[in-house]
Every structure is written in C-alpha cells, then in structure tokens.
Structure 1
Amino acid sequence: MNSKLLFSTILVVLSGFAQAQEAKNIILITLDGLRWQEVFSGADSLFLRDAEMVKNPQGLYNEFWETNPVKRREVLLPFFWNTIASTGQLYGNRQLGNKVNNQNTHWFSYPGYNEILSGFADDQRINSNDKINNPNKTFLEYLNQKEGFAGKVLAFGSWDVFPYIINEERSGIPVNAGFDQAEGEHLSDKEELLNRLQTEIIGPWTEVRLDAFTHHFAMEALKNQRPRALYIAYGETDDWAHENHYDRYLWAARQTDDYIKEIWEWVQSDSEYRDNTTLIITTDHGRGVRKDTWLGHGSSIPESSETWIALLGAGISPRGEISEKGQWYNAQIARTIFEMLGFEYPDEKAAKSLKLTSSN
C-alpha cells in the first residue's frame, strides 16, 4: 500500500470512529414553525417579492434568491447545508418522498413540543397553548432522574409557556424562558449584561422574547454550568410569520442557523464535549403554503403537520440529506435520544426511535 493510500485509509477509519462514538451529551434545538420548504429549497419565490409581506422586495430577492434550489437553501441556511449535510443527517424533504410529520392532530405549538419532548401525542389533554403544567413527563425530566444527569439538565426558550410544557415545578429542571433572567450567586459578566439589556430592548411580543437573549443565556449556561442535556427553543421564525413578515422570517431562520453553528463550533472546541455530543434540530409544526395560509397553522391547514429533523455529532453517521422514501415523526425523537445515550426509554407510549444506524 502506498503512503497516500495508507493515509487516506487512516483518515476514513478515524472519521468513522469519531462518528461512532457513543453520545454522552445531548443538545436539542427547535426552531418554531420553520417550514420544510425553506429548509430544503430556500426562500419561496411566491413570497419573496410580495410587497405585502416584504418591506424591500428587490433587496430581499437580491439577498436570498438563487435559481438553483440547492444553492438557494445554502444561502438561507449555510450551516445546515455546508456542515450538517456533509457530516450529519437531514430528514423531511418531501420532494424526495422523505416525510416527517407531527403525530398529534392539532398542529400548533404546545401539542408539538409535548410530542417532541415526551415522545407521543396527547390530543385529549394537550389541546391548547394555555399555561397548564404538562401531565406528561418529558425525556428531560426522565434524564434529570438518572445518575450523572441529575442537576445537569437545562432548558431555555423564547416563549413563556415552556416552564409549563417542561413542568418545571414537578421536574425540577431550571427553565429560563419568556422574559426570565439569569439567576444565581455567580453570574458571569455577560449574564449580568443580558439581564440588564433584556429590560431595555423590548421586542414586539408580550409572551415571546427576542431569540438573541435565549441564545446567549443558553450559551453562557453551556460554558459555565456544563449541562449533559440542554434544550434551546428559538421562536422568532414562527412569530414573524404570524405577522406576515416574510423578510423577518427569513432573517430569523438564517440568524438561528448561525446560532447553531456557534453552538457546534464551541462544542467541538471544548475537551469535555468534543466528539461525544449530539445535536438534534427540529420544528414543532409546519405552516401553510399559500399566501392566505402560510402565516397560520393548525388542523384546518393540512401542511401544518409537515416537519423535518436534522442530526449532527456523536453517533450520527454522515448520510447527509436522506433520500429514502418513508415516514418519520417528531414523536420519535425522545426515544432516539435515550437510545443514543444507552438507556431504555421508560414510557412505553413513546414512539419507536429513528433507528439511525439502520438503512431506514
């Protein structure tokens, strides 16, 4: 074997070994209401130059449009398509027959998040966005009861309903959401600044803070508190869509893509997290495809159940965009996380895992 071939073989073996490492830490990330259409095809030509949805149609067109949808999606989500697509997996391109859906039949936020976090739909009891403590235990709560994870599970969200979805009162998991501030005796200088700025920089919504605060609070906690399981729920994509601001929806999606890149690059730079941490990224629901339906979602809009899932890191083979025809569900995430960590999921109602090591 010549030296070049030997070196290439070593690289392939090492790459496969790194991917095969068992996950020790999990970071779950959600982007509220981001459609699969933008994830897999980039900016929508039906909306991009609509003056009712965009303040500067020509400027937005110049910023996001490419004739080739593969290039167009890279412009919108460069980390997804330059990093996850080469070293991770992406499910949900329905143009390839690869379908991901909600298991629940309501197709809005609380039922969607319950499904992701608990592993099953609960259509009877979880049927509104009301601030009611979730009767179901989430995978976060189950992890918080395990040796090595107790006290090492954290959650951050832009929407102020997350303390109820995760049932902070029962689970004991600290949930920084809505307009919560960082608390504790040893706050970093950045956390002190974020606490102050959050009272000074007010977004347009009364129940949802700007994602920048959610992201930077979470990053500081990741660096300083060293969680084994971290959940970050970004919200601006959905909220700008509800207000019919397609430009801000796109900007929020691209900004969150950059946030995810920052998380991943930090994880891979840190000896405690490098090569043993898995990122799972998804959305709680889809939304309509026409001008009169895209800003909403729910059981009256069929496309609202259409979602997607992306995975990167330990235990995830580099299969890129999954092209196999088939059906997957958000409900499969909870059991998948437990199996990646080497545990049996304790709730038999939870959907089967994604079976990431199989050919699907």
Structure 2
Amino acid sequence: MKLDLKILVYSFFLFSISLQAQEGNKIVIITLDGLRWQELFGGADSLLINNNRFVENAAGLKDEFWAKTKEERREKLFPFVWNFIAKEGVILGNRWEGNKVNLTNNMIFSYPGYNEILTGKADDDHINSNDKIYNPNKTILEIANFSKKYRGKVLAFGSWDVFPFILNEKRSEIPVNAGYRSSLSKNPSEKALFLDKIQQETPKRWAGVRFDVFTHNYAMEALKHEKPDVLYIAYGETDDFAHDGRYDEYLKSAHQTDKMIREVWEFVNLDTYYKGKTSILITTDHGRGTGIGENDTWRGHGTSIKDADQTWIMAFGNEIKPKGEITRKKQYYTNQFAPTVSKIIDLDIQFEAKPLPVLDN
C-alpha cells in the first residue's frame, strides 16, 4: 500500500510538471538570412527587378511582384506580413520613416549576427569569422535548455550547416537539425522519414546550405509531434540567392518564406498545446548594400559594404502588443532581441540591452 502511494505521489508530481510546462509561454524564433529591410518595407527594388544581369524573366517577375507604390509592392511580396503581422503585431526598421534597427557587432556577416541575435551581445574578439568553431557564448536557447522550465523542450532547425556550432550543440545539448542533416527525432514521423529520403536525392545548389523547404518541413514535423516550447527556425536561401546575384530567386524565396511563417502561425494558433500561449519573433542576421555596377554591393555585406548593418525585427503572438508598423523616429538594436525573448519566456537573465517595446504589458 505504501509503495502504491509513493507511485501515486510521484505520478502526480510528474503530471504537475507537465501541466506547468503546457501552461507556460512558448516561443518561435525565426531568422531570414540577409533579407534587406528595403524589400521588407518597399517590395521589389526597381533598380534590380529591371536588370537582366540579376533577373532571367523580368516581365514574369514584374507580373508577380511589381506595383506602383512601395506599399502595394511589399504586400505582394510579403502578404502575411502586411495583412496580418502589421495589424496584429509589431514591425520595426522602416528607415524611410526614421525607424531604425542596427547591428552592434562590427563584422556584419552571419555568425557574428546570429551570435548577437541569440546572446544579446556582440563578441568581435571571438566571433569574427564564419568558421565552424563552437560558440564560447551561451545563447538564450542554451540557457532555456538548462532551465527547469524548458529543459529538453528546445529544438533548432537551420538551413546553414554552421548552426550546430553557433548554438554549441555539444555544450548546450540542443538537438540542431541543420545543413543536410536528416531528422534527429527519436521516433521520426512518416513525413520526416520521407524528408530524409528526398533531401538525399535532391541536387545540392550550395555546399553548406540546404533549401529552406527541408528546414521548414522538419520544423513543422517537430511542432506537430515533439511539441518544443522554444523553437528556432533559421531560413537561409535569401542570402545565398543574393550572393549568387539572382534577384529573381531572392524575391521568390522571400515570398515563399512569408508563406512558411504563415503556416507556422496557423498551426500554433490552432494546436491546443500552443494556442494562446505562443509568441513569434523574427529578424535577420545582417543587411546588404544597395549598389549595382562594378561591385554590386546589394549582393554582399560585411564591414566594406555601406549600410549592411541595417536590419529589422517583427513580433506577434500572445505576449505582443499589436502596435503595427512603428513609424516614429526611433533607434533600436539587434542586441535587444535576446532580452525580449528572455522576458517572454520568463527567464531571469541579466542583459546590458533592454527588451524591445513590443510586449503586451
């Protein structure tokens, strides 16, 4: 009888922990590699969409994405962003309105950008290349994974094969499905196994970056079957198509990512585990240049590219106050992203930067 009572008490304890986990806030962090604020707020760029060096079928591309005004063009390119997030969330970074978001790191490329986004600070002394070195800094994901509240409830999916190092998977113990990795689930779904198969069979365009369709669908399977409380999805195509000088594919990828973000939101807004408890925060690791000609600076970024430190941030969901597009003159920084995540999921972490003014409080 005493043994049965102990089992009953222990079972109730486990149930209580499970219930607390279900009751707590969830968060989905999304990044779009190298997506310029110019396209986010103004849609297709006239200097690029009409240039046959960067576009194979200008007429067809313009039918899909061109319109007379910036507002019309951005809605064509990002319909979910401008028909939903702009009404139900917050969007920062429209520099035409004097609303600015900038990096604080001085490297202005991917690894330093992701480190700043996820740790809340620049680290130019240690993170100054895209080399596959394990991050000495702890990300907000790692801190969450070692907290009582979110232990074992953190997952990450990325198109770029450097993310296992950015998130320091060895130390953080976060499962990171990135690059051309197959499903890491202990019990992969039928769809995840099929993704494994077709990913192996699909020709590779880039050595270290897979197509976002795989990253997205692996992440969606995790949402459906593994129920992470903290999920990171890092899409990568926009940066690589831009580096390739393919503005047409850059636009198409950006448009497709808008659909992917909508799919994530529609799922968490219907699923009983996530509904009413989930916030989504979105940003980019760096900007790009604006020029065409000898150097085509729109294709690149880094310290030599003027204005490539200009970024943007979006947020929506249960903890986000629906303020829409912020058009007042104000300066924000990417290092405010992690403090905002920390506040949403209620982790007691000290940051130098303050959370962004997007929370519903």
Question: Is 1:330 aligned to residue 334 of structure 2?
Answer: yes
Three-state SS of the structure 2 residue aligned to 1:46 is helix
TM-align CA RMSD:
1.3
- Distance (whole Å) between structure 1 residues aligned to residue 230 and residue 272 of structure 2: 16
- Tell me how far 1:38 sits from its aligned partner: 0.2
Q: Over residues 251-273 of structure 1, what are the superposed CA-to-partner deviations in whole Å (9 max), with x where a residue is unaligned?
A: 00000000000000000011111
Aligned partner of 1:353 among 349, 352, 355: 355
Given that 2:90 and 2:358 are in contact with CA atoms closer than 8 Å, whether structure 1 keeps it comes out as: no
- Tell me how far 1:166 sits from its aligned partner: 0.3
Q: Over residues 167-186 of structure 1, what are the superposed CA-to-partner deviations in whole Å (9 max), with x where a residue is unaligned?
A: 00000000000000003442
Q: Over residues 217-239 of structure 1, what are the superposed CA-to-partner deviations in whole Å (9 max), with x where a residue is unaligned?
A: 00001111100000000000000
Q: TM-score under structure 1 normalisation? A: 0.91
Gapped regions of structure 2 (runs ≥ 5): 1-22
- Aligned residue number for residue 12 of structure 2: none
Letter in 2 for 1:307: T
- Distance (whole Å) between structure 2 residues aligned to residue 253 and residue 213 of structure 1: 15
- Distance (whole Å) between structure 1 residues aligned to residue 360 and residue 157 of structure 2: 32
Three-state SS of the structure 2 residue aligned to 1:312 is strand
- Tell me how far 1:302 sits from its aligned partner: 1.9
Question: Is 1:222 aligned to residue 226 of structure 2?
Answer: no
Matched residues, percent identical? 53
Equivalent pairs counted in the alignment come to: 336
- Aligned residue number for residue 122 of structure 1: 123
Q: TM-score under structure 2 normalisation? A: 0.91
- Aligned residue number for residue 46 of structure 1: 47
- Tell me how far 1:49 sits from its aligned partner: 1.4
- Tell me how far 1:202 sits from its aligned partner: 1.9
Given that 1:27 and 1:278 are in contact with CA atoms closer than 8 Å, whether structure 2 keeps it comes out as: yes
- Distance (whole Å) between structure 1 residues aligned to residue 96 and residue 267 of structure 2: 34
Structure 1 stretches of at least 4 aligned residues deviating more than 3 Å after TM superposition = none
- Aligned residue number for residue 261 of structure 1: 262
Given that 2:319 and 2:360 are in contact with CA atoms closer than 8 Å, whether structure 1 keeps it comes out as: no
Letter in 2 for 1:191: A
- Tell me how far 1:203 sits from its aligned partner: 2.7
Three-state SS of the structure 2 residue aligned to 1:38 is helix
- Aligned residue number for residue 161 of structure 1: 162
Letter in 1 for 2:155: L
- Distance (whole Å) between structure 2 residues aligned to residue 218 and residue 226 of structure 1: 10
- Distance (whole Å) between structure 1 residues aligned to residue 136 and residue 211 of structure 2: 28
- Distance (whole Å) between structure 2 residues aligned to residue 143 and residue 112 of structure 1: 20
Gapped regions of structure 1 (runs ≥ 5): 1-21
- Aligned residue number for residue 305 of structure 2: 301
- Aligned residue number for residue 209 of structure 2: 208
Given that 1:182 and 1:191 are in contact with CA atoms closer than 8 Å, whether structure 2 keeps it comes out as: yes
- Distance (whole Å) between structure 1 residues aligned to residue 231 and residue 157 of structure 2: 8
TM alignment of 1:180-191, pairs within 5 A = 180-191=181-192
- Aligned residue number for residue 245 of structure 1: 246
- Distance (whole Å) between structure 2 residues aligned to residue 85 and residue 118 of structure 1: 27
- Aligned residue number for residue 68 of structure 1: 69
Three-state SS of the structure 1 residue aligned to 2:281 is strand
- Aligned residue number for residue 344 of structure 1: 348
- Distance (whole Å) between structure 2 residues aligned to residue 250 and residue 208 of structure 1: 18
Letter in 2 for 1:324: R
Change beyond 3 A, Cα 1:182–1:358: closer
- Tell me how far 1:343 sits from its aligned partner: 2.6
- Distance (whole Å) between structure 1 residues aligned to residue 248 and residue 228 of structure 2: 35
Given that 2:289 and 2:297 are in contact with CA atoms closer than 8 Å, whether structure 1 keeps it comes out as: yes
- Aligned residue number for residue 320 of structure 2: 316
- Tell me how far 1:23 sits from its aligned partner: 6.9
Given that 1:23 and 1:315 are in contact with CA atoms closer than 8 Å, whether structure 2 keeps it comes out as: no
- Distance (whole Å) between structure 2 residues aligned to residue 57 and residue 241 of structure 1: 16
- Aligned residue number for residue 113 of structure 2: 112
- Tell me how far 1:317 sits from its aligned partner: 1.1
TM alignment of 1:142-181, pairs within 5 A = 142-181=143-182
